[in-house]
Structure 1
Amino acid sequence: MEQRTINTGVYLIMALFCLQPMALGAWLALIPYMKETLELSKFDLSLALLGMPVAVLVALQFAGTLSTRIGIRRLMVMTFPLQGLAAFLPLLAGSQVMLFSALAVFGATHAFMEVGMNVYAGRVEKKAAAHVMNRCHGFWALGLMTGSFIATSGAGALGAVGIMAVVSAFSTFVGILAARKLPQMGAEGAEHVSARRKLSQMPRALLAIGAFMLMVTLAEGAMADWSAVYLSERQSVDVTEAGIAVTIFAGFMAFGRFCGDWLKGRFGALVLARGSVVLALIGLVCLIAPLPLTFAFLGFALLGVGVASGYPLGVSAVAALGDSHEASNVAIMSSCALAGFLIGPPVIGFLADTYGLRFGFAALIPGLLGCLVLAKWLIPPESAVTRD
């Protein structure tokens, strides 16, 4: 394959990684608004937020097969407009049940797009023989930050539905244009769909990486959904202005991911993973301990940097396991990652409703400590001899 074609694939998939989460970022910034509008307690909001993980975990059972069967370009062209429409549904909900259902639809579209983008990014990384995964996910965090910033800044003037219309229309239109120009990378078509495996047939590395991803994304999801609520409770600000917490978190997550490829090349996956987890733990302490509000902003930033490299390191490690079950492996890892990202917030909410958000955040610490051990499985197979 020509280098020019590979470069085109790199630039376009990075653009898609930026565009796809904009609607999600807008929604995350508007969660406090919906909590107040529907007059939901933390417990009731947590139940409603379960709509996304339930749908995601179901959709991911088919996402890997579908991305191979119909091709990633067609998958992205089909799902961008579906996500754009689904993003409105949570804001139109009139009850907890309606919010749960709306988030389920939104989550299903999100799942198919996540798998497609990560499979493609893994293929591009191997074709380019260079580290690009962290930058791809850096653009994802940048898109999340952009969506949350636009929603935080414009909701007061345009309203929640109006600002979501702006974000969804832009990301959908440009996303479809970019997806249509993606060059094909790797084998696609029904004849390349691999047979389903039993749990016992899966490599141990895949299961260990999945566990690592689950714990890291528990923290990522908790910050994405609850940081704005945490800030609105600690500081007397309008619920739409509290979305700045999501913006700070996502912004520093983007920064960490843009630096991630260089750091991985300089220090290796193991050092990067463990160092990142330590930063996330320090960030949690800033939120949990009875410290001045300034430390909360520092905590959002450290957590953003701390969880930044987890997902891209996991995708690269899984993609390096081999091509025979590539899409399936990425789908399994994505199931673990998105389960953490989407199940974490409701679990934190249940704890927060009884014990407070600080206790809910503290519950993330044991999982992150476990990540310090699981990080050794992120080393590529050819470097397995260096595991300790």
Structure 2
Amino acid sequence: MISTTKHRFFLSLFFFMSGLSFATWASRIPTIKTTFDFNEAELGSILLALPIGSLLGLPLSGWLVSKYNSRVPLTVGYGLNALSLALIGFAHNTFSLVAAVVLFAFTTRIFNISVNTQALTLQKRFEKKIVGSFHGYWSIGGIAGILLSTLFLELNVPIQYHFLAVAILMLIVTLYSYQFLLKGDRSETGNKLILSKPDPYIFYLGLVVFLCAICEGGMFDWSGIYFQEIIKVEIFTYGYLIFMTFMAMSRFVSDLIVARFGMPSTYIMSAVCIISGISLAIIFPFFWTAMVGFSLVGFGTAAIIPMSYALAGASKKYSAGMAISIITTYSITGMLLGPPLIGYLAHAFSLRVSFIIFAICGLLLIPITQMFFKHQRLSDKAG
């Protein structure tokens, strides 16, 4: 009998490794841009492959979590994710790069839904909230990935060997940790997508994660470019590093913040941090002001996805796995629009101007989250 503590440790390890692998890819986007000599618009088009691959994984991921225990698609998805990361590093032309990125996104989609289904299932065995801490480990993994990328940049390690080393580590962790994942978490009800009028409960949460995904995706993919071309620092990973550091800090304290102030207030505080942080970085494009600005954006975006996933898991219409799958579609759509939109706006105007999109998304979070909680209160009274 495996203890809940051991389940939590190895599930946290998967979140950590997921953050590390994603940060490995995102932190070397400037390297890919330079290697293939892409302009901003061309890079934006390449980044479209990421959300397109995720959308292709939508029907399969939803079917897998309803057909099998989540540890099966989690393990297979992450193993294939390691292979795709290595293929990105060895891509020698645009076609092979796009194909590898699509596979990376496709497998990330399957893994993410599976690992979050495990997290929500394990949460039921704890009295205190632990979902935020899982996402905190994702951010810690992201920090580790950025630090590793920074070290390899300093040592002039080629991207192909960098990505291959991380991929091998991913495979080792996957093969060993499979035995410690939860079993028998397949839900018997709520596994089918109901084609009807959108459920307001899920729809509002979907809009929230959509706006957050634009901010997160844009910061993941463009923070390095911003520090390289606007702040003009040689080690361009600083911006991504500070963003991920404060995202991790926020996620480890987000459960305490929610317990103290409640989810409605936490959503508003998150939005204010995003708006003020990105405004600071845009208006004052200098190293330290940008570092402070990016840290505020990281702190602001961090709690939104964990809170929204936790709320989705309480859906009365769908199982936790299916609810997460649905709102993740909104998140992927945000990823679809965010990074390419930044690229096209940067090409048409400037990179500084394009970052205004993040402030607009932060502003829209306030009324939409308030509409969600109003709907929730009315539903509770009616029920």
Deviation of residue 224 (structure 1)? Answer: 0.6
Q: Does 1:259 align with 2:253?
A: yes
Deviates more, 1:282-291 or 1:260-269: 282-291
> For residue 171 of structure 1, what is the aligned residue in structure 2?
170
Q: Is the 8 A contact 1:22 1:147 kept in 2?
A: yes
Name the CA distance, whole Å, in 2 between partners of 1:13 and 1:65.
22
> For residue 212 of structure 1, what is the aligned residue in structure 2?
208
Q: Does 1:195 align with 2:192?
A: yes
For residues 139-197 of structure 1, what are the alpha-carbon distances to aligned partners after superposition, in whole Å with 9 as ceiling and x for unaligned? 11111121122012113432211122222222331133223211225335xx6673331
Code of the residue aligned with 2:288 in structure 1: it is T
Deviates more, 1:147-156 or 1:109-118: 147-156
Give the number of equivalent residue pairs. Answer: 379
Deviation of residue 138 (structure 1)? Answer: 0.6
Pairing of 1:259-298 with structure 2 (within 5 A): 259-298=253-292
For residues 282-322 of structure 1, what are the alpha-carbon distances to aligned partners after superposition, in whole Å with 9 as ceiling and x for unaligned? 11101211443311111111111010001000100000113
> For residue 244 of structure 1, what is the aligned residue in structure 2?
238
Pairing of 1:142-157 with structure 2 (within 5 A): 142-157=140-155
What are structure 2's unaligned runs of at least 5 residues? none
Name the CA distance, whole Å, in 2 between partners of 1:251 and 1:338.
23
What are structure 1's unaligned runs of at least 5 residues? none
For residues 303-349 of structure 1, what are the alpha-carbon distances to aligned partners after superposition, in whole Å with 9 as ceiling and x for unaligned? 11010001000100000113743221110111112332353111111
> For residue 343 of structure 1, what is the aligned residue in structure 2?
337
- The verdict on how the C-alpha distance between 1:101 and 1:141 changes in structure 2, with shifts beyond 3 A counting, is same
Q: Is the 8 A contact 1:151 1:164 kept in 2?
A: no
- The verdict on how the C-alpha distance between 1:144 and 1:383 changes in structure 2, with shifts beyond 3 A counting, is farther
- The verdict on how the C-alpha distance between 1:104 and 1:135 changes in structure 2, with shifts beyond 3 A counting, is same
- The verdict on how the C-alpha distance between 1:236 and 1:366 changes in structure 2, with shifts beyond 3 A counting, is closer
Secondary structure of the equivalent of 1:195? Answer: coil
Code of the residue aligned with 1:307 in structure 2: it is T
- The verdict on how the C-alpha distance between 1:338 and 1:144 changes in structure 2, with shifts beyond 3 A counting, is farther
> For residue 57 of structure 1, what is the aligned residue in structure 2?
55
Deviates more, 1:69-78 or 1:299-308: 69-78
Name the CA distance, whole Å, in 1 between partners of 2:374 and 2:127.
16
Secondary structure of the equivalent of 2:129? Answer: coil
Name the CA distance, whole Å, in 1 between partners of 2:374 and 2:22.
31
Q: CA RMSD in A?
A: 2.3
For residues 7-38 of structure 1, what are the alpha-carbon distances to aligned partners after superposition, in whole Å with 9 as ceiling and x for unaligned? 33322222211112312111111100110110
TM-score by length of 1: 0.91
> For residue 307 of structure 1, what is the aligned residue in structure 2?
301
Identify which of 335, 356, 360 aligns with 1:362.
Answer: 356
Deviation of residue 41 (structure 1)? Answer: 0.2
> For residue 226 of structure 1, what is the aligned residue in structure 2?
222
Task: State the identity as a percent.
Answer: 22
